[in-house]
Amino acid sequence: MLILVANLLLVYTPVVPSSAAATLPSIDLEGFRWNSFPLRVLVDMNAWSTPDYAAAVHEALDDWLRSIWNYTSSFNDTSLTMIRFAFYVSDINRTDNYNALVTFAAGEIITGSETVGLTTARWNNQTHEPISPVTVNITTYSATASHLFVRNVAMHEFGHMLGLGHASSQNTVNGPELMYYVSSRNGILFPSTLDVYGLTLLYRGMYDQTVQLPADIPYKVLSEGTVPPATPNFWENLPPYMPLLVAIAVILVLAPILLRLRRKSKPEQTAQESPQSQDDPQA
Ligand SMILES: [Zn+2]
């Protein structure tokens, strides 16, 4: 058994986005894919982490699922619907059984390189099984980084955790490419159609390849606007007049019941008062 190792870096520098998407964008697929879900992701809290960063990591996992659902419904491809995550935080619900370990670093992962994220994966090159844990390291600049920064770096690194390499293009037609090896600091990042399409091929067994989108799938960001929320908050989404409607509905349901109770209670009262009642043992 040969164990292969991939170290995948994310460099974070301000870049000027080019206006046109690169022609024939492609993405590399690694030599592994996960076989059982949910993937158990443990966030290891340390001096450079805050509860807000743990929440940012959780948000990144949720947003990956949202983008996969978006892709599934947009292109009628259900090959990734088995992907699920279980989320653990070391000081809340620690587990010793995890597939991915997220840790936070004080500064650049590799000094002087502007590297802000690093995923290290090992796998068996015959079974293509990852060897747990895959580790994800994110800098928080000594806990000064923003929530969005940590969330974006986590988004990119989770693409590696799932088995993606880097994409060749810096921009899609409607936003930045998540899996480009350099990222700019502005805006929220989501996977592209190329990223998720690459995953569908990887999870069908196309290892160690560089792939391109088919002509019928546009190269775009699978943004949050067209995907169902991961955990919809029912009460917040209700229109403002909903409490009144609920009150009216309650009255409509209760009114007949109350009327029936009143009708029932009247004969019972007369029966108790009546000395002729057969139900009254005193009679
Ligand atoms: Zn990377």
Ligand 1 centroid to residue 156 C-alpha, Å: 6
- 201 and 257 belong to one structural domain: no
| pLDDT of 62 | 95
| Range(s) of the domain holding residue 148 | 3-226
1 C-beta neighbours (distance < 10 Å), count: 7
- 120 and 202 belong to one structural domain: yes
CA distances from 129 to 111, 119, 142 (A): 31, 16, 34
Residue of 230, 190, 232 lying closest to 83 (CA atoms): 230
| pLDDT of 235 | 47
| pLDDT of 114 | 86
- 201 and 158 belong to one structural domain: yes
Ligand 1 centroid to residue 271 C-alpha, Å: 83
CA–CA gap between residue 189 and residue 191 (Å, rounded)? 7
The domain total for the chain is 2
Q: Give the residue ranges of DSSP H helices in 27-110.
A: 51-75, 90-93
Encoding tokens for residue 240? 């403002």
- 202 and 102 belong to one structural domain: yes
- 90 and 219 belong to one structural domain: yes
Domain of residue 219, CATH code: 3.40.390.10
What pTM was computed for the model?
0.75
Ligand 1 centroid to residue 283 C-alpha, Å: 91
| pLDDT of 238 | 53
Ligand 1 centroid to residue 258 C-alpha, Å: 66
Ligand 1 centroid to residue 73 C-alpha, Å: 27
- 258 and 146 belong to one structural domain: no
- 103 and 51 belong to one structural domain: yes
Its sign, for the CA torsion 75, 76, 80, 81, is positive
- 205 and 262 belong to one structural domain: no
| pLDDT of 186 | 75
- 83 and 204 belong to one structural domain: yes
Ligand 1 centroid to residue 182 C-alpha, Å: 8
- 88 and 157 belong to one structural domain: yes
Q: List, run by run, the mean pLDDT of 10-residue segments along the chain (283 residues).
A: 65 55 82 97 96 97 95 94 96 96 93 90 96 96 95 97 97 94 86 98 97 96 62 50 64 69 55 45 43
